[in-house]
Amino acid sequence: MDIFEEVKSRLDIADVAEHYGIELNKQNKCCCPFHTEKTASFQVYPKSQSFYCFGCGVGGDVISLTEKLLKLSPIKAAERLNSDFNLGLNMKPHKPTPQERIDKIRLDRKKMLVSSWAEWKDEALNTMIFYEKLYRKIKIYFEPKSIDEEPHPLFVKSCQKSEYLSFLIDEVLTADETERERTWQELYKNNGDEYLHGLCY
Ligand SMILES: [Zn+2]
């Protein structure tokens, strides 16, 4: 389970919303915190642990909600939830097992043999862009049609994935040189291709 799934599995979205100042009514509705309105079109769905606003179209899961409310990156949002709700999760990448170290050596060797670092980054960026677009399309396709409709799991997933990917793409394209290289190194160190696959699927 990745860290986002881990955080999500331990929290209730309605509790989190209320903790950060959203006052839900009995139907789990309220005026949207992300746009100005007089009638409640912001809905939290405890069953699917998601939210959606029929006024401005924002939606997603507990991580996306925290990101938007507190203006944080996905990783920072997960870290913040971990500390605010005392989840006690270790947010640092875990210490690799001997098998993982062997896999990493193999991967490094493959990296040297098969393609240069620049090529790897290029390919990784293309993959991220491809999936970011794909998840945006899925998101639009599965968007709930009415406020009473429980969001489709693929809608929720695509909200989270597209936002995280667009955050990463932004990081590797627009941050300054050192920051960019650090993000790439992080992505690669986290098991490189396998990690990217995890992000994308
Ligand atoms: Zn809204």
SS (H, E, C) 129-186: HHHHHHHHHHHHHCCCCCCCCCCCHHHHHHHHHHHHHHHHHHHHHHCCHHHHHHHHHH
- How far is the C-alpha of 66 from the C-alpha of 90, rounded, in Å? 19
Is 106 a member of any domain? Answer: yes
Q: Write down the pTM of the prediction.
A: 0.63
Each residue's pLDDT tens digit, 99-152: 888 887 777 776 666 557 888 888 889 999 999 999 999 999 999 888 888 899
- Residue 57 domain-assigned (yes or no): yes
DSSP state of 28: S
| 107 alpha carbon – ligand 1 mean position (Å) | 44
128 and 64 belong to one structural domain: no
Question: How far is the centre of ligand 1, averaged over its atoms, from the C-alpha of 39 (Å)?
Answer: 11
What's the domain range around 14? Answer: 3-84
pLDDT, average across residues 31-36: 94
Q: Are residues 74 and 134 in the same domain?
A: no
CA of 43 to the centre of ligand 1 (A): 10
For ligand 1, a single-atom ion, which residues have Cβ within 5 Å? 32, 34-35, 53, 55-56
154 Cα–ligand 1 center, Å: 20
Q: Are residues 103 and 193 in the same domain?
A: yes
Residue 76 sits in a domain whose CATH number is 3.90.580.10
* pLDDT band at 186; cut points 50, 70, 90: confident
Tell me how far apart the alpha carbons of residues 82 and 89 are, in angstroms, rounded to a whole number. Answer: 6
